Structure 1
């Protein structure tokens, strides 16, 4: 997963209270969620 190829407009980045950042690619019709520890 190379984030530098994606623009901020293509991503919805939400950080919850647990400190887990969910990166959802808006470019895909079926949204793929990637959870990373931040």
Structure 2
């Protein structure tokens, strides 16, 4: 069971990083699109 808990924590951490990162990513993509169009 210890291994599973480790995996779950790792997954939650990476999910949080993604959730934090996505808004910046969307913003920069939006900026790029505005320049192209």
State the TM-score, normalized to the length of structure 2: 0.20
Hey, which of these two has a bigger chunk of helix by percent? 2
TM-score, normalised on structure 1?
0.20
Larger RCO (alpha carbons 8 Å, 6+ apart): 1
Give 1 or 2: higher strand fraction: 1
Which has the greater radius of gyration?
A: 2
